[in-house]
């Protein structure tokens, strides 16, 4: 691993949503960093704050969301404090995003080639005249057959997999240094998923791009990223190199998540469910550890503010009573 | 073993270019009637059986005809051709609208993909579960309440939740309502269309375990539709693999996944991400599937995307051939059969 300046470093990010029924503390003190050219994965169940993190960094939070603390440093620029016009320059050029549902994210009344050309003109320093041809080249690069004809097609004329390729082409058009992929393959078939993920990986490698890959699929994350950041109820609970995380998960939640993921080896009886549900983030009496109420390893110390111990190998765990450092496999115990 | 469901040569074609509007009317008139319109071969000549107490998985990518096949089996749509037999009863003869009030309607029930969208938002959980009982069993009053409460507790739905509306329930609880509604009338065959696709892994496990327990308790047969192979492998005894309207491979689940014979199944298995294994198989499909509209009956449906794509695949449609307990529709199945297990 390089010790160079990370491509993006998020420090102490907290986000509140003001709703009619109270303030939802969606993110609390979220920190992680992604190095240049590295791929990391943000993993967690729905409602854990993965997408909110990405939206906050991109500056596209819902108006109800307020960033209450934290920094997101992209080079020398704090994205969270940047002015709208500074952000508009950075977005698309330095940092790009692939959204979950390509059909709703693409403009339905504009041919896809034009949508790619728009980005090239705005962010890629491409003269207006050359943009359509370069858009066709981009379509070819993401593996669309007959790109000249497809460039004139509208999103509704294309399959889900092809729309996702167009989204990738748009995101990568200006050769950003950081790509955020928010569940890029949810809703696609496994065969298409594999092809799309290969494509993102290959292009990222080619361009030396850092990638933040958001997913709820632990197996997919493990296959595609060097490091995994596990989120639960707006907290980062564990952050470790992929292999180490799977072999020696230290946070009880991570261990249970691994135990719940269907895999080639396990039978249905061996899979363990995670008892309880996410806590209501509107509560004012949220415990410091938001997992403690469903945690099988809860101890008295859990009422103190969360610790953040990081081992020499860069394995961060936010837990007072983590699993020991080197035991084989996940624990078999589960809460009564 | 007794055969519960016998599906023979079922096809479902949809004419293209129909629908409303002056242009469509014009096309229909001058193309020589609706029979002459081009057709989507959504399900093309599919045959299989499901035994009593068996769980059969149906996998394939979106657009391959899984849902159409399932809707035809559950008699929500009419088949174009072929027969569907449940026990000794032939189901395909009655139009679906008539069958909706048939006595045997209760014997085959379905759990839909997203319970959040398939449960009437203006029904409470109680009403949702009671609806089929009222319509098919003519139950009412105290007997109905009792039955709903029994089914709800069998599905692990706490009784106070019965008065809630779908939007007041979590994803897992909604899935339980969907399952309770389907098993309330004690079906012999339960068709599950991706029942866990909308759920988190932690909840998915609970629902899968619930399904397995219910099956043991009531001796139902399941047809489990999914594109998540790791889930199918956990739950199913046998698996059917569909590609563009045709079954391309079938056999015992463990064997099919460990040693797939059809190139499409091989690509499918290779594409599944696994824990504790980096990179995965390198077999990738290129290109888009062939058009399902009036496909050439002499070309293998997988031709063009298949890594083999030999000359004979373009001239002869491979038939589904048996190899012991397995069936494969590929000219080159023997070659894969000889390859030792990896």
pLDDT tens sequence across B91-122:
888 888 888 888 888 999 999 887 778 889 99
Least confident window among B2-16, B21-35, B257-271: B21-35
B322's CB contacts (< 8 A; 6+ apart) are: none
Q: What is the mean pLDDT of residues B73-94?
A: 90
Contact A263 B275 (CB under 8 A): yes
SS3 A326: coil
> Which residue shows structure tokens 């594109």?
B227
Confidence at B225, pLDDT banded by 50, 70, 90:
very high
Is 80 exceeded by the pLDDT of residue B23?
no
Cα–Cα distance for residue pair A332/B275, rounded to 1 Å: 17
- Closest of A150, A169, A39, A32 to residue A92, by C-alpha: A169
User: For position B161, what pLDDT does the model report?
Assistant: 93
Who has greater pLDDT, B226 or A336?
B226
Residue A160: closest CA among A190, A133, A118, A137: A190
Q: Averaged over B196-222, what is the pLDDT?
A: 89
B34: tokens are 């609706």
The C-alpha R_g of chain B, in whole angstroms, comes to: 21
Q: How confident is the model at residue A331 (pLDDT cuts 50, 70, 90)?
A: very low
Q: Tell me, what's the pLDDT at A277?
A: 79
DSSP A67-90: EEEEEEEETTEETTT--HHHHHHH
Please count the CA atoms within 13 angstroms of the CA of B205 that sit on its side-chain side. 20
Please tell me which of the candidates A219, A224, A268 has its beta carbon nearest to residue B275.
A219
Q: What percent of chain B has pLDDT over 90?
A: 49
Give which of A109, A329, A314, A134 is closest to A228, Cα–Cα.
Answer: A314
Q: B278 and A223 in contact by Cβ < 8 A?
A: yes
What is the per-residue pLDDT for B34? 65
Q: Please report the pLDDT score of residue B33 as a whole number.
A: 66
Cα–Cα distance for residue pair B103/B136, rounded to 1 Å:
7
Task: Identify all chain A residues contacting B287, using CB atoms and an 8 Å cutoff.
Answer: 145
Q: Testing the interface with B: which of A190, A247, A256 to mutate, by most B Cβ within 10 A?
A: A190
Distance (Å, whole) CA B226 – CA B99: 26
B288 vs B221, residue with greater confidence:
B221
Q: What is the mean pLDDT of residues B236-242?
A: 94
What pLDDT, on the 0 to 100 scale, is given for residue B141? 92
- DSSP letter at A91 equals B
Please enumerate residues of A whose Cβ is less than 8 A from a Cβ of B.
45-46, 143, 145, 159-162, 189-195, 198, 216-220, 222-224, 243, 246, 256-258, 260-264, 266-269, 271-274, 277
Residue A264 confidence (pLDDT) above 60: no
Give the model's pLDDT for residue B340.
Answer: 56
pLDDT tens, position by position, B123-145: 999 999 999 999 999 998 999 99
CA-nearest residue of chain A to B280? A223
Instruction: State which of A92-106, B135-149, B293-307 shows the largest mean pLDDT.
Output: B135-149
Residue of A nearest to B268 (CA): A191
Torsion on CA atoms B128, B130, B136, B141, rounded to nearest 10: -160
Task: Please state the three-class secondary structure of chain B as a single string.
Answer: CCEEEEEEEEEEEEECCCCCCHHHHHHHHHCCCHHHCCEEEEEEEEEEEEECCCEEEEECCCCCCHHHHHHHHCCCCCCCEEEEEECCEECCCCCHHHHCCCHHHHHEEEECCCHHHHCCCCCCHHHHHHHHHHHHHCCCHHHHHHHHHHHHHHCCCCHHHHHCCHHHCCHHHHHHHHHHHHHCCCCCEEEEECCCCCCCHHHHHHHHHHHHHHHHHHCCEEEEECCCHHHHHHHCCEEEEEECCEEEEEEEHHHHHHCCCCHHHHHHHHHCCCCCCCCCCCCCCCCCCCCCECCCCCCCCCCCCCCCCCHHHHCCCCCCEEECCEEECCCCHHHHHHCCCC
Overall average pLDDT of the A168-197 stretch: 86
Please indicate whether residue A181 or residue B292 has the higher confidence score (pLDDT): A181
Which of B205, B233, B279 is opposite residue A223, by nearest beta carbon? Answer: B279
A208-256, pLDDT tens digit by residue?
899 999 998 888 899 889 999 999 999 999 999 999 999 899 999 999 8
d(CA B230, CA B196): 12
Q: Are strands B89-90 and B81-86 parallel, antiparallel or unpaired?
A: antiparallel
- Contact criterion met (CB < 8 Å) for B231 and A262: yes
Contact B273 A191 (CB under 8 A): no
- Which residues partner with A33 through β-bridges? A9
How far apart CA B13 and CA B82 sit, in angstroms, is 12
**Confidence at residue B304, expressed as pLDDT on a 0 to 100 scale:** 85
Residue B64 has pLDDT above 90, yes or no: no
% of chain B exceeding 70 in pLDDT? 94
- Tell me the CB-side half-sphere exposure of residue A227, using CA atoms within 13 A: 21
- Structure token pair of residue B266: 């091989």
* Mean pLDDT, chain A, whole residue set: 87
With a pLDDT cut of 90, the percent of chain A lying above it is 41
Task: Give pLDDT, residue A245.
Answer: 92
**B30 pLDDT more than 80:** no
Which residue would you say has higher pLDDT here, A283 or B21? A283
pLDDT-based confidence at B282, cuts 50/70/90? low
- Please give the Cα distance from B195 to B180 (Å, whole number): 12
The helix or strand, by DSSP H or E, that contains position A163, with its residue range, turns out to be: helix A160-172
Is the pLDDT score of B195 beyond 80?
yes
Cβ-defined contact of A261 to B275 (cutoff 8 Å): yes
Would you state the structure tokens that stand for residue B200, as one six-digit string? 């988190």
The confidence score (pLDDT) of residue A294 equals 86
Query: pLDDT value at position A332?
Result: 44
Task: Find the mean pLDDT for residues A50-76.
Answer: 91
How does residue A278 score in pLDDT terms, banded at 50, 70 and 90?
confident
Residue with the larger pLDDT of the pair B129 and B275: B129
Q: Is the model's pLDDT at B222 over the cut of 70?
A: yes
Q: Average pLDDT, stretch A260-276?
A: 76
* Confidence bin at B278 (pLDDT 50/70/90): low
Q: For testing the chain A interface, which of B64, B203, B212, B273 should be mutated: the one with the most A CBs within 10 Å?
A: B273
pLDDT for residue A266 is more than 70: no
The model carries a pTM of: 0.83
Give me chain B's average pLDDT, please.
87
Q: What is the pLDDT of residue A329?
A: 46
Strand A309-310 relative to strand A316-317: parallel, antiparallel, unpaired?
A: antiparallel
- A288 within 8 A of A303, measured Cβ to Cβ: yes
What are B's interface residues with A at a Cβ cutoff of 8 A?
A: 61-63, 170-171, 200-206, 208-209, 212, 227-231, 233-235, 257, 267-268, 270-280, 284-288
């Amino acid at each position: 691993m390089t010790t160079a300046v990370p491509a993006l470093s998020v420090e102490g990010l907290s986000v509140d949503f003001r709703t009619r029924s109270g303030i939802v503390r969606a993110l609390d003190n979220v920190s992680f960093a992604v190095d240049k050219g590295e791929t990391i994965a943000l993993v967690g169940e729905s409602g854990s704050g993965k997408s909110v993190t990405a939206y906050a960094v991109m500056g596209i939070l819902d108006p109800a969301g307020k960033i209450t603390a934290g920094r997101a440093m992209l080079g020398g620029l704090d994205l969270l404090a940047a002015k709208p016009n500074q952000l508009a320059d950075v977005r698309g050029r330095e940092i790009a995003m692939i959204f979950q549902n390509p059909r709703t994210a693409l403009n339905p009344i504009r041919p896809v080639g034009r949508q790619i050309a728009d980005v090239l003109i705005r962010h890629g320093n491409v003269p207006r005249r050359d943009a359509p041809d370069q858009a066709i080249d981009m379509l070819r690069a993401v593996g669309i057959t007959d790109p000249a004809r497809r460039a004139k097609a509208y999103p509704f004329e294309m399959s889900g997999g092809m729309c996702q390729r167009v989204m990738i082409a748009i995101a990568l058009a200006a050769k950003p240094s950081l790509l955020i992929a928010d569940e890029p393959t949810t809703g696609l078939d496994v065969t298409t998923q594999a092809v799309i993920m290969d494509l993102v990986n290959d292009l990222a490698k080619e361009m030396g791009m850092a990638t933040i890959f958001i997913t709820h699929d632990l197996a997919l994350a493990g296959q595609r990223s060097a490091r995994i950041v596990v989120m639960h109820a707006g907290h980062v609970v564990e952050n470790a190199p992929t292999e180490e995380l799977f072999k020696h998960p230290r946070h009880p939640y991570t261990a249970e998540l691994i135990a719940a993921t269907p895999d080639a080896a396990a039978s249905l009886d061996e899979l363990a469910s995670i008892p309880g549900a996410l806590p209501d983030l509107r509560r004012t009496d949220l415990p410091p550890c938001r997992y403690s109420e469903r945690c099988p390893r809860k101890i008295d110390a859990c009422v103190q503010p969360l610790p953040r111990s990081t081992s020499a190998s860069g394995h961060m765990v936010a837990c007072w009573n983590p699993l020991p450092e080197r035991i084989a496999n996940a624990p078999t115990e589960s809460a009564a | 073993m007794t055969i519960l469901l016998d599906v023979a040569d079922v096809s479902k074609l949809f004419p293209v270019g129909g629908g409303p509007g002056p242009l469509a009317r014009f096309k229909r008139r001058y193309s020589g009637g609706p029979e002459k319109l081009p057709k989507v071969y959504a399900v093309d000549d599919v045959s299989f059986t499901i035994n009593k107490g068996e769980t059969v998985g149906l996998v394939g990518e979106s657009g391959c005809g899984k849902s159409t096949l399932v809707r035809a089996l559950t008699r929500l749509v009419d088949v174009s051709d072929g027969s569907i037999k449940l026990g000794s009863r032939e189901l395909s003869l009655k139009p679906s609208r008539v069958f909706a009030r048939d006595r045997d309607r209760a014997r085959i029930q379905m759990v839909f993909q997203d319970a959040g969208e398939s449960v009437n938002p203006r029904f409470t959980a109680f009403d949702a579960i009671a609806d089929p009982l009222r319509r098919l069993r003519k139950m009412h009053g105290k007997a109905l309440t009792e039955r709903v409460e029994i089914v709800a507790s069998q599905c692990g739905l706490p009784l106070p939740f019965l008065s809630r509306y779908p939007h007041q329930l979590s994803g897992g609880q909604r899935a339980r309502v969907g399952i309770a509604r389907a098993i309330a009338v004690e079906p012999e065959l339960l068709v599950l269309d991706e029942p866990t696709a909308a759920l988190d892994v932690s909840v998915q496990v609970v629902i899968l375990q619930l399904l397995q327990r219910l099956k043991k308790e009531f001796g139902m047969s399941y047809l489990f539709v999914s594109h998540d192979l790791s889930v199918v492998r956990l739950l199913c005894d046998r698996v059917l693999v569909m590609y563009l309207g045709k079954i391309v491979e079938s056999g015992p689940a463990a064997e099919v996944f460990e040693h797939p014979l059809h190139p499409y199944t091989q690509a499918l298995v290779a594409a599944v991400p696994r824990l504790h294994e980096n990179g995965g198989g390198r077999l990738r499909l290129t290109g888009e599937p062939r058009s399902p509209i009036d496909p050439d009956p002499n070309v293998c449906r997988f031709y063009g995307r298949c890594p083999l794509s030999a000359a004979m695949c373009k001239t002869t449609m491979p038939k589904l051939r048996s190899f012991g307990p397995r069936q494969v529709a590929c000219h080159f199945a023997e070659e894969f059969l000889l390859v030792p297990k990896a």
